[in-house]
Structure 1
Amino acid sequence: MLAATVSAAAALTTMGLAAQPAAAQGATPVADASAVQAGQPCTAADLGKRHPFIKSTEVTPTITHFKGWYVTEGTTGSHSVSTNTQTSISVSVGLNGNIQGSFGTEALGMVGASLGLNVQVNYSSTSSVSDTVNWNFFQPGYYGVYKGTKKVTGTYGSLNCNRIQQSDGSWALKWIEGADTGSYTTYTTLEEGAVRCEDKVPANSIMAKAKGLLDCGSPAATAKHPAGPVPSAKADQAKHDADNAATAAKAAQSMKTTQAAKPATRAALNCQPAVYKIDVPGKPLNWSAPLLANDGIRLRESTFFSAHLDNWRLCNVTERNGVIEASLWNWGNGGCATIPANIANQEQAYLTTATCGEDDLQRFYIYRDVPGSTKIGLQNKYTGSMMGHDRYADGELIRQYSSGRQDGTGTYTLTQV
């Protein structure tokens, strides 16, 4: 425990108050004035990019670790208390719970700036921190020793570059609210402390949440008791509830993963008659479907021997607010472009083809340049990530990038053949 925190604890407990938790470290985030805004102009190089915006936020004081502790006459002073885990909070943004891509980091940075809080912007979990609290107790009494944080949850959307028809009938490229949304979870710096039943604490604070676990009206709160841990039915029930919730969440995630991994049922596609190549603008390489089942879609040059593996049709096409949604059917192997379910939550997961099915992993949003240009950007409906390639080279895999390729290599050309 930091000396400053111990000193603060001593001063407050002397006055009959519990010590205030340590403040979150670091400066208050400042909103980025240069952040992309809906309605701002963009360029064709932005068609394969994506930026987050925050739709809603909710901040909830949460106790992550707790232990009832009794301090008797003659046992005041420093105690090292091993607490029990009450709630586990893990950072997540959409499917990408490990925050591998820049989209998640950017989104969480916006959350922190909008709330004036220092939140975790990389993957972490409160269950991975030490459960030990070292505290200096200056008065005997019945204490709740705790660690806690502010859990921050909410929803986000994405801004994508797409063509917009203006009031005078002309067209322009602008950042618009994209079709995909998702939820996020993060938390502020962990605070620790000790609180007694008689302490006056701020409402809806982390300390108030800890006091609520003390069972202040129970016999344990007033009975004589040896120094050390005190059984607390309320805290035990809270832990039981938290364990049940964690088990249910794991079961739901396991079911979702299992369902996503099931082979897709072959679906009847309504494909448009036009056949396209998906080219790198001004370059000879274009998307070519794999010959081998475990391979991915790669950049290849079209030749006489391409066997239509570089030919694509748009199927089951819909359009909303100027954004096309379609399945990409390959003429050469009869499969549909997809992100493999077992790696769908990974940054730079490769694109491949599979049996066409009713599956959002096989659905893509297509963002278009102004009429007269065939440049496009492609976004997977299920993952929200944009398609792109790491380098321009024959045989290079097409992959997903949470924010797209910021150098413009996520912009392709839909060329009718």
Structure 2
Amino acid sequence: MRRTATRLGRGLGALIATATAAVGLAATPAAATPAAEAGQAVQPGQTCTAADLGTRHPIIKTTEVSPTITHFKGWYVTEGSTGTQSVNTNTTETISVSVGLNGTVQGSFAVEALGSVGASLGLNVQVNYTHTSSTSQSISWNFRQPGYYGLYEGTKKVTGTYGSLNCNRSDAGGLKWVEGPDTGSYTTYTTLEEGAVRCTDPVPANSIMAKAKGLLDCGTPAATAKHPAGEVPTVKAEAQKLTTAGKTMNVTGSGTAPVARAALNCQPAVYRIGVPGKPLNWSAPLLAADGVRLRESNFFSAHLDNWRLCNVTENNGVIEASLWNWGNGGCAAIDAQNAANEGAALKTVPCGEDDLQRFYIYRDVPGSDKVGVQNKYTGSMLGHDRYADGEFIRQYSSGRQDGTGTYTLTAV
């Protein structure tokens, strides 16, 4: 048998990037396993500073590597039809790269997470959003002997779960990188491989080629019978096509479901959320279409710069709360239609039971009022592009690495 050929995939464009990890395709158990920490930018328990309160890094919790066939066709070669042929294979599975809930890759946190996966496994994996082809793929192959072949394109599908490391006060004293409440799942894949395999070919266990060989129905009459040259539909391939054709896609409508209003249990303290050592604070808008901005507090602020913590809970030193604004009576939230977007502006909306209105608050050491703020649903940290009057408060998947996502929570 001629050896298989690998490639990054036809038609995937310049969006494909690979993690800068050493290539090593050692056999990996198919079952989910705890991920190694070799690819982590920071480690749990390491010291952090107050400037890190508004940032986060991924921690890979589990990984699962499974050989996956994306395109396949059974092909019979007769004595007189050997040589190079181009065979159109059928799609069996489409793999999309995604991190988190939105089915894509948004922001630096997602790229860092996939890079950590590749480094921990020693595999080159896709770290930008892309997907394997969902259309028929043509594979050119030099058939040197007659026989029953499976033409395939495949990859190693990599899935698992991640958490986030956030800077927070430690019971042991000081600030440490600790695992926060935010968790999610990811999917990516390795370099695509094309090949041809016969029932008589020895194949490495748990390999892409072995997965393709399993689709040939070896040992059945279809594998041993004489056929005319060309396509031979296998039982497994046909079943796969039916399964694929029968799949339905859940499409989320563009409208937003009504949010149930919540009766808030707010703490009596009133706070300003501001930039450390500077006069600008978070100020809610009067108009619903506007967003929360940096403003200087003064007589005309009309309590739009005053916030209460409501429905507060605390778990492992991390506060979770809704942020209620005294001036307009709304709750801080990431807009549902923009929740997947890096840099989406913070707004105020009617208060409701919605994780887009819930925030984790990471605190500096006792005696300091510095905090970092993270949206519960998106996992993104809050910050601002530049220090200026009227600048929006926005979400960033990894936070602002220059420290501009660290704020003060000051009672007034």
Summarize deviations over 1:132-189 as a string: whole Å, max 9, x none.
11111101111110000010111111110001122xxxx3111111111111111100
CA contact (8 A) 1:97 1:123 kept: no
Aligned with 1:402 (options 387, 397, 400): 397
Give 2:241's aligned amino acid: K
The yes-or-no answer on 1:301 pairing with 2:299 is no
Aligned with 1:179 (options 181, 185, 200): 181
Partner of 1:232: 234
The yes-or-no answer on 1:191 pairing with 2:193 is yes
Partner of 2:343: 348
Q: How does 1:105-184 map to 2 (within 5 A)?
A: 105-127=111-133, 131-166=137-172, 171-184=173-186
CA contact (8 A) 2:6 2:191 kept: no
Partner of 2:44: 38
CA contact (8 A) 2:67 2:208 kept: yes
Mean CA deviation greater in 353-362 or 211-220? 211-220
Give the deviation of 1:242 after TM superposition: 3.3
The yes-or-no answer on 1:28 pairing with 2:28 is no
CA contact (8 A) 2:39 2:120 kept: no
Partner of 2:352: helix, strand, or coil? coil
The yes-or-no answer on 1:283 pairing with 2:289 is no
Summarize deviations over 1:383-416 as a string: whole Å, max 9, x none.
1110011111111111111100000000001111
Structure 2 distance, partners of 1:239, 1:337, is 47
Give the deviation of 1:220 after TM superposition: 3.3
Partner of 2:299: helix, strand, or coil? coil
Partner of 2:300: helix, strand, or coil? coil
Partner of 1:203: 205
Q: Aligned Cα RMSD in Å?
A: 2.1
Partner of 2:213: helix, strand, or coil? helix
CA contact (8 A) 1:91 1:125 kept: yes
Summarize deviations over 1:2-22 as a string: whole Å, max 9, x none.
xxxxxxxxxx35xxxxx3453
Structure 2 distance, partners of 1:223, 1:33, is 50
Partner of 2:242: helix, strand, or coil? helix
Partner of 1:90: 96
Give 2:243's aligned amino acid: D
Residues 370 and 29 of structure 1: is their aligned pair in 2 closer, same or farther, counting only changes over 3 Å? farther
Structure 2 distance, partners of 1:149, 1:33, is 22
The yes-or-no answer on 1:369 pairing with 2:359 is no
Mean CA deviation greater in 116-125 or 22-31? 22-31
Mean CA deviation greater in 96-105 or 341-350? 96-105
The yes-or-no answer on 1:263 pairing with 2:258 is yes
**TM value normalised by structure 1:** 0.89
Q: How does 1:45-56 map to 2 (within 5 A)?
A: 45-56=51-62
CA contact (8 A) 2:271 2:307 kept: yes
Aligned with 2:321 (options 326, 333, 337): 326
Partner of 1:5: none
Give the deviation of 1:298 after TM superposition: 1.0
Q: How many residues align?
A: 390
Q: How does 1:374-393 map to 2 (within 5 A)?
A: 374-393=369-388
Structure 1 distance, partners of 2:235, 2:285, is 60
Mean CA deviation greater in 89-98 or 404-413? 89-98
Give 2:222's aligned amino acid: A
Partner of 1:207: helix, strand, or coil? helix
Summarize deviations over 1:222-271 as a string: whole Å, max 9, x none.
333222212223102113223444x2xx32x638x87xx21211100000
Give 1:127's aligned amino acid: S
CA contact (8 A) 1:142 1:196 kept: yes
Structure 1 distance, partners of 2:278, 2:241, is 60
The yes-or-no answer on 1:101 pairing with 2:95 is no
Partner of 2:174: helix, strand, or coil? strand
Residues 56 and 32 of structure 1: is their aligned pair in 2 closer, same or farther, counting only changes over 3 Å? closer
Structure 2 distance, partners of 1:105, 1:27, is 13
Structure 1 distance, partners of 2:50, 2:245, is 49
Give the deviation of 1:130 after TM superposition: 6.9
CA contact (8 A) 2:308 2:324 kept: yes
Report the identity percentage: 74
Aligned with 2:87 (options 81, 84, 87): 81
Summarize deviations over 1:301-324 as a string: whole Å, max 9, x none.
122222111110000001111110
Following TM superposition, the consecutive aligned residue runs of length 4 or more in structure 1 with deviations greater than 3 angstroms are 19-27, 29-34, 217-220, 242-245
Structure 1 distance, partners of 2:260, 2:400, is 32
Residues 34 and 190 of structure 1: is their aligned pair in 2 closer, same or farther, counting only changes over 3 Å? closer
Give the deviation of 1:100 after TM superposition: 2.4
Partner of 1:64: 70
Mean CA deviation greater in 97-106 or 140-149? 97-106
Give 2:57's aligned amino acid: H
Give 2:154's aligned amino acid: G
Partner of 2:216: 214
Give the deviation of 1:95 after TM superposition: 2.3
Partner of 1:6: none
Give 1:143's aligned amino acid: Y
Q: Which runs of 5+ in 2 are unaligned?
A: 9-17, 25-36
